[in-house]
Amino acid sequence: MQNEQDLVLRAQQRDEAALTQLYEANFDKIYRYVVIKIGDRTEAEDISQQVFLNAFKSISTFKRQQGIPFSAWLYRIAHNQVVDYLRKKAKRPAVPLEKVMIQAEDDPTMTAERNLDMEQLSQAARQLTSAQREVISLRFAGGLSIAEVASVMSKSEGAVKALQHSAIVSLRKLLSV
Amino acid sequence: MNGKRTDDILNICLERLFLGDTIEQCLASYPEMAAELEPLLRTAMLSRQAAAISPRPEFRARARAELLRSVSQRPEPRRRWFAAWQPAWVTSLVAVLVLLLAGTGTVAASANSMPDEPLYPVKLATETVQVTLTRSPLDKAVLFTRLADRRVREIAVMAEKGKAGEVERAARRLDIHLTQVARLAAPVGQVVESEGEVTMMAPAESEGEISIMAPAPEAPPDAIPAPVAPPQRPRPPGVPPDDKEKTRRPEGAPAERPALKESPGRGLKEQQEQKLEKRAELKRKLLQRASEHPEVLLKVMDRAPESAKPALRRAIERSSQGYQKALDSLE
């Protein structure tokens, strides 16, 4: 985290190397987070790029003293970006979840061994509550710790653990794992 | 079974799986909960594996290039209102007015203020006035050396308080002061490098041609380095030399010192001796501080909180390099 703080200070001075490092360290995670939430890889690339563009434009306003690490700040920007995107796409029909579940039930003997793909996970995640989906996205796609998720979501660690538990239980049912 | 305990144990197992343990190893630690945990852990691991995708490499590279280009093309972040609009002389004028209006009491009170204190901008403004009112380049160099002392004290105090941002800003000011010392003390034509820029020194004796970077009042975090005299560019073919260029010595020719005005009662030799004395004194001071300042800051390193140490390390590095640069320029 200390390194991140260093990088951010340098990035605030438009140090290109620092900006590149921040990008390299976070881009894939942000991308995964966005994919899980919207289920479209191509759109996720554009949204992730926009997240970084917004972040780098306003990086001078970021202050570590506000109590959140830079990565958490990035996820908040990503969250807002995704909300905007979903709002605009609200009228687009979603693929019904039954499709996913039927696929899973086609071969029950393979269920435990099968490879779940991102699209299936994303579709299942959309059936969760928004808080559960946020925890799953941040934990499994973003790779954040419970403490970091708690910081992003402004919740206690206990609440995040409970959400994580209930989200996994729901995912299990939805995916018939 | 206690729900909170299950939340905790599930999370402990997940952390272990993320670190490389197997599901079986986790279940072995909690045999009484194995039946409940096992399907949840499998679901979690499947979900995590499914989420482990990456953007297309070509997109990733293109996006990075576009981002960096976009950031570099943006106008410099706005400086604070006081520094945003003024040429250098306005800074000085405003500073003088501020000092007159604020009164000597405020100025005196600001002398020992630190960067996190309200009177610090007054301290910087006072320094700006001092720099502006100092005429001789060597005297300016001595003044910048004293200002460097202040910056080092500020770095030490801010580091002990754990204020990394203030340490960075003070270190930047320190670097600017030492660059100015190098610039003012450098013989004609010497090149001094400063934070990625290369600057041809203005003739040290020609007052009025020296680019002076007074410490910016309350420099923002995104303050840019001191404006410096641009490197001389070669004259395009066919373009006649300007007056200044006509007097510029040809490459390789011995440096010509501008003729010194002989003041009444003092010979040229006496003035030159005085300058040599000043340069020697400046060198002594720089040598002393070059060893003292890093030592002072290294001692602070033991007491400073972890959050301030990287900034402090960079400040030490800047201090060492800055003094070296200044000393080199005197050689």
- Taking only the tens place, the pLDDT of each residue in A15-70 is 889 999 999 999 999 999 999 999 889 999 999 999 999 999 888 888 765 567 88
Q: Residue A113: is its pLDDT beyond 70?
A: no
Beta carbons of A38 and A11 less than 8 angstroms apart = no
Residues 6+ apart with CB under 8 A from B276: none
Compute the mean pLDDT over every residue in chain B, rounded to the nearest whole number.
72
Query: A107: pLDDT confidence band, cut at 50, 70 and 90?
Result: very low
Q: Residue B31: is its pLDDT beyond 90?
A: yes
Of A92-101, A116-125, B311-320, least confident by mean pLDDT is A92-101
Q: Tell me what pLDDT residue A111 has.
A: 39
Q: Tell me what pLDDT residue B292 has.
A: 84
CA gap A21, A27 in Å, rounded? 10
Within 8 A of A53 by CB-CB distance, chain B residues are 67, 70
Show the tokens assigned to A147.
């403490």
Q: Tell me what pLDDT residue A69 has.
A: 83
Of A81-90, B119-128, B216-225, least confident by mean pLDDT is B216-225
Compute the mean pLDDT over every residue in chain A, rounded to the nearest whole number.
83
Which of B13, B46, B15, B37 has the alpha carbon at shortest distance from A124? B46
Mean pLDDT of B263-276: 71
For residue range B165-222, list pLDDT tens digits in order. 889 889 888 888 888 888 787 754 444 444 433 333 333 333 333 232 333 333 333 3
Q: Residue A85: is its pLDDT beyond 80?
A: yes
| Higher pLDDT, residue A81 or B270 | A81
Longest dimension (CA), chain A: 57
CA gap A149, B66 in Å, rounded? 29
Within 8 A of A115 by CB-CB distance, chain B residues are 46, 49-50
Q: Tell me what pLDDT residue A7 has.
A: 86
Mean pLDDT of B295-322: 85
| Higher pLDDT, residue A129 or B314 | A129
Of B125-139, B195-209, B261-275, least confident by mean pLDDT is B195-209
Alpha-carbon distances, residue A171 vs A94, B44, B45 (angstroms) = 18, 9, 12
Mean pLDDT of B272-284: 83
* Structural domains present in chain A: 1-92 (1.10.1740.10), 95-177 (1.10.10.10)
Torsion sign across C-alpha atoms B326, B225, B319, B109? positive
Question: Percent of chain B, pLDDT > 70?
Answer: 65
Highest averaged pLDDT of the listed ranges A108-122, B26-40, B195-209: B26-40
Q: Is A61 on the interface with B (CB under 8 A)?
A: no
* Cβ–Cβ pairs < 8 A, chains A and B: 133
Mean pLDDT of B61-72: 86
| Higher pLDDT, residue B105 or B115 | B115
Question: Percent of chain B, pLDDT > 90?
Answer: 18
Q: Tell me what pLDDT residue B69 has.
A: 85
- Is B6's CB within 8 Å of A165's CB? yes
| Higher pLDDT, residue A131 or B282 | A131
Q: Is A140 on the interface with B (CB under 8 A)?
A: yes
pTM (whole model) above 0.80: no
Q: Residue B82: is its pLDDT beyond 80?
A: no
- Decide: helix, strand or coil at residue B203: coil
Q: Is A136 on the interface with B (CB under 8 A)?
A: yes
- Across the interface, which of A13, A57, A169 has its CB nearest the CB of B74? A57
Query: B15: pLDDT confidence band, cut at 50, 70 and 90?
Result: very high
Q: Tell me what pLDDT residue B99 has.
A: 62
- Is A45's CB within 8 Å of B56's CB? yes
Containing A93, the helix (H) or strand (E) segment is none
Q: Residue B233: is its pLDDT beyond 90?
A: no
- Across the interface, which of A6, A121, A172 has its CB nearest the CB of B39? A172
Q: In chain A, positions 77-116, which contact chain B (CB-CB < 8 Å)?
A: 112, 115-116
Query: B105: pLDDT confidence band, cut at 50, 70 and 90?
Result: confident
Torsion sign across C-alpha atoms A85, A89, A95, A96? positive
ipTM value for the complex = 0.80
Query: Which runs of consecutive H residues, i.e. helices, occur in A58-177?
Result: 70-88, 97-106, 118-125, 130-136, 146-153, 157-175
Of A60-64, A75-79, A125-129, B312-316, least confident by mean pLDDT is A60-64
Torsion sign across C-alpha atoms A140, A146, A149, A154? positive
Containing A64, the helix (H) or strand (E) segment is none
Query: B244: pLDDT confidence band, cut at 50, 70 and 90?
Result: very low
Query: B77: pLDDT confidence band, cut at 50, 70 and 90?
Result: low
Mutate to test the interface with B, among A116, A133, A170 (most CBs of B within 10 A): A116
Q: Tell me what pLDDT residue B308 has.
A: 86
DSSP per position, B4-22:
HHHHHHHHHHHHHHHTT--
| Higher pLDDT, residue A50 or B79 | A50
